[in-house]
Every structure is written in C-alpha cells, then in structure tokens.
Amino acid sequence: MTFNFDQWVDRSHSDSLKWNKFRDADVIPLWVADTDFVSPPSVIEALQKRVAEGVFGYGEPPEELIGLLVQRLSDKYDWAIRPEWIVWLPGLVCGLNLAVRAFTTREQSSIMPSPIYPPFMQAAESQGRRYKTVKVTQQQQRWVADFSQLQASLDGSEKLMMICNPYNPGGTVYRRKELLAQQAFALRNDLIVCSDEIHCDLLLEPGLKHVPFASLNEDAANRSITLLAPSKTFNLAGLGASLAIIPNERLRKKFAQTGQGIVPQVNILAYVAATAAYRDGDEWLAEQLAYLRGNRELVTARINAMPGLKMLPIEGTYLGWIDATQAQLDSPYRFFLSAGVGFSDGKDFGNPNFVRINLGCQRALLEKALDRMENALANRLR
C-alpha cells in the first residue's frame, strides 16, 4: 500500500493547537510536535468502528494492546518487559511530573540536559523543587550531554536524573556506549533515571537502532522509569495514550500512588487507536519515515546554506534545532515570525539563539516556509 503524505488537510480553522496559535495570520506553524499527516487508515477505521458502538464508559487497557506492546519492544529493541511493569498515563508529560513528585522532595533536586524540551524544566520546578543542568555540546556533528561534567558540583541533594532519547531538541540518538556512561553516572550518584523515549520509533538515520536505557543491564532497569507513547509515531497526540515502564516494584508503586486522584484514566478511544496502530501501523510508519527523511535532507541543505544559520543532521525525531547565533538576531523566533514562519522559541528550551523546527508536514509547505526564511535573511542584508 502507498500512503500519500503530500495530502493536504486544512487544519487552519479546526481545533488544532498547532494551527490555532497563529489563527487568521499568514504564519506557517512549524512548532509543536504533532504532524499534519493523516493517521494510519487502520487507526481511523478502528476508531470509527468503536464510535459506532455508541457507549463510552470507563475503560481499561485491552489485553491485545498489552501483548502488542510487549512483543514490539522485544522485536524492535531487544527489551523483554513484563506486563505488570506498565503504568498507563493520559500523556507523557504527566509521567515527567509524577517522577519529580514521587522521587524528590523540596530539599532535593533533579538533573537534566540543557537545552531540553520545556516540560522537563516545568516538571522539575513543580511544587518548589529545584534542578541542575548539564550543557549539551556539539560533538562530531551531534548534540551530546556528558553528565560527568557535573560531578564536581554535586552536593548530594540530587535524586532524579531526567534524560531524553532521542534527544528533543536536536535529534541525537544516543549510542549504547553513551547510555552506559549515563548509567554509570547514575549508579555512582545513586540517581533514579526518568527516560523520555517517546520518539524511539522515529529514527531517520539509516543503520541506527534505539537502545532503551532500561535495557542496558540490571542496574539500569532497577533504577529507571521509561516513558513511551504511540502519539508521535502515529500522530495520535490529541488522543492521549502514554505509559511508563517501571521494572522496580518499589518505584512502580510509589509512581502509581503519586498519581492517584490527580492523573485521570486513559480514555477508551486512545486505547483503541494505540491498539490499531501497534497492530497494523508499521507499513504506514515505514513510509512516513521515508517521507520525513526527504524533508530532513531538504531542510538540512537549505538551512545550512542560509547566512548565519546552522542545523546539525537530525538522527531521530522530526524536530530540527536551528542555531541562529551567527545571524546576530535580537530574537530569531520573533524575526522569523515576522517573516511568516512560526517556530518554537529556543528561549523556552534554554537557549534564545536557537529555534526548533517541526519537519512533520507536507513538503510543499516546508518549501514555502524555507523560501520565506531565505527572503527575510536576504532582505536584512540589503
């Protein structure tokens, strides 16, 4: 089957968060991480069938979904998990917040890379808590966090290490050796590790394989909370089916208890969509990845040809991290917004000299946005 990722869906006057941000303005939205692609036909068909039943009471995760997830992690990532390790969540950001609330106190702190997806920082600051950051640096055309840089500045208050693999922003897919170094740092400092792996299925660089942090060894499994979801993979973010995988029973119980009465159940349509996606969506996913690779090549070449801009190759995710430092703009976000291109502001991630671009859209729209960027930069130099 061939799926049409060039198909245009007008989301400009819908309930889309992505498109409503610039509603009624001539701005191309390339910010929040959902795509403009129609989800897999199998998902749409399953949802339509479930809606036709007409009853929408409380639900629980289907046995089929659990089985599909266990088999998928084994087949794709050589990670053998048990069904009882799974804690279902209505969104991955809930998991970040629960990890902070469950495993730190106000006197304790978290550690994370910087820049980082903003909800990491927001979660780490929840209820008056603190966090420390390690600067992500460019190493051989990749963005890499070396947590050992922090060793001398640790004071014993650190209890939680938060990582993101593939890395958002920047798209780095961490290698086993790099993850083992992170695990050794966590072991040395007795840290629980919360690993956001929501983009694990979206690897764009041929030959790379995602390595779940918890799959490294017994110690990594015993200290880890792994956050996953089908939402980015199959464009299901608005339905809200996510999960935490926690092998350590003590950590799992503490995590689940922290969410009781606060975090709602996953809705039944999200379970239906997740089941259909994991059962029948991989052919669609393969074609989406091929399309995204084409978008990546287009954007990487054109961005790096623009004066003052630089973007390292994206290994995973559909999110590029554009360095505008050399362009010497007061605010790259506002500059490109005035040119009709709406990125995510790098300031929110920890570096105002950058913007994050979402490549998950029709190529013609991407080309239009790149044209606007080129024209704006050219006009500025005249």
Sign of CA dihedral 7, 11, 17, 18: positive
Position with higher pLDDT, 101 vs 12 = 101
**What is the distance between the alpha carbons of residues 319 and 312, in angstroms, rounded to a whole number?**
11
pLDDT band at 294 (very low <50, low <70, confident <90, very high): very high
Sign of CA dihedral 29, 33, 37, 43: negative
What dotted CATH number matches 17-41+282-377? 3.90.1150.10
Position with higher pLDDT, 381 vs 164 = 164
Taking each continuous run of H as one helix and of E as one strand, the counts in the chain are 13, 14
pLDDT tens digits, 165-210? 999 999 999 999 999 999 999 999 999 999 999 999 999 999 999 9
Whether the Cβ atoms of residue 102 and residue 255 lie closer than 8 Å to each other? yes
pLDDT of residue 127: 84
Residues in CB range of 223: below 8 A, 6 or more apart: 186, 187, 191, 192, 193, 248, 251
- 17 burial (CB, 10 Å; 0-12 / 13-18 / 19+) is middle
CATH 3.40.50.300 fits 55-280, yes or no: no
At residue 23's C-alpha, the angle toward residues 20 and 24, to 5°, is 165
pLDDT of residue 352: 98
pLDDT of residue 2: 87
Q: Flag whether pLDDT at 382 surpasses 80.
A: no
pLDDT tens digits, 74-89? 999 999 999 999 999 9
Chain center to CA of 246: 19
Instruction: Give me the helix-helix angle, 268-280 and 63-77, nearest 10°.
Output: 40
**What is the percent of the chain with per-residue pLDDT over 70, rounded to a whole number?**
100
**What is the distance between the alpha carbons of residues 64 and 138, in angstroms, rounded to a whole number?**
42
pLDDT of residue 381: 76
- 179 burial (CB, 10 Å; 0-12 / 13-18 / 19+) is buried
Residues in CB range of 213: below 8 A, 6 or more apart: 163, 165, 179, 182, 183, 193, 195, 197, 220, 224, 226
User: What does pLDDT average to over the chain?
Assistant: 97
Q: Is 311 helix (H, G, I), strand (E, B) or coil?
A: strand
pLDDT of residue 98: 98
Q: Flag whether pLDDT at 1 surpasses 80.
A: no
Q: Flag whether pLDDT at 135 surpasses 90.
A: yes
Side chain identity at residue 84, one-letter code: E
pLDDT of residue 86: 98
pLDDT of residue 14: 87
pTM, two decimals, is: 0.97
Q: Mean pLDDT across the stretch 347-375?
A: 98
Domain boundaries defined on the chain? 17-41+282-377, 55-280
pLDDT of residue 12: 86
pLDDT of residue 13: 83
